Amino acid sequence: MRTVADVAKMIDHSLLRPELTDDDVRAGCDLAARYDVASVCVKPCDVQSAAERLTGSGVAIGTVVGFPHGSSSSRIKAAEAHAAVNDGAGELDMVLNIGRLRAGEDEAVLADIRAVVESAPGIVVKVIFENAYLTDDEKIRACRLSEQAGATYVKTSTGFASGGATPADIRLMRAHVSDRVKVKAAGGVRTLDVLLKLNEAGATRFGATATAAILDELAARLA
């Protein structure tokens, strides 16, 4: 079984719910630092304060682009990404243009992803597909386009749609990107057993709000 430290460094502690206050975000950042997770994923308006609070902690600052529907123009997504990096973000989770993917407009989807990647050189970019709305063929095309655009990760879901990460989707996505591209699971990752099952399927990063419960459960099992 993996160590608590190993699993912690697979978790992006999610602080994206619209009702979260400044106090909630500060508490979430403190929890992320205490458990030494991979990153916090905060709303764009919270990037600067999170970066200040977590300086020197070893926890990366992530935020979202075109969230949650992916429907902003590519120009706006690129500007949003650039602003987030200037505020201190080192990781960006962008939602691709779901409608254009479903319509078969692959060149537009490619350009949309590439606009974000090129606006944030050297930054980890994770492309969110929102698999609840997609066929397997559309997921496969999204994998190919994300890799072609230079993304670092492909990601299952925002966590705000009707469905989230499944082992079948993780296996599909893992099979259709090269080893250079990693897979992130998000949506419904609320227990240790779910995380471990998705990890076995090929995911190496997880968006979660139940971070403390997951890691405390692993510590109890190892004890």
* Catalytic positions, written as ranges: 93, 155, 184
Backbone phi, psi, residue 6, to 5°: -60, -50
- Provide the H-helix boundaries in the chain: 4-8, 22-35, 47-53, 74-87, 98-102, 106-119, 136-149, 167-175, 192-201, 211-222
- One-letter amino acid at 29 equals C
12: nearest Cα among 217, 163, 139, 159: 159
Evaluate the CA torsion angle 67, 154, 217, 37 in order and state its sign. negative
Cα separation, 34 vs 82, whole angstroms: 29
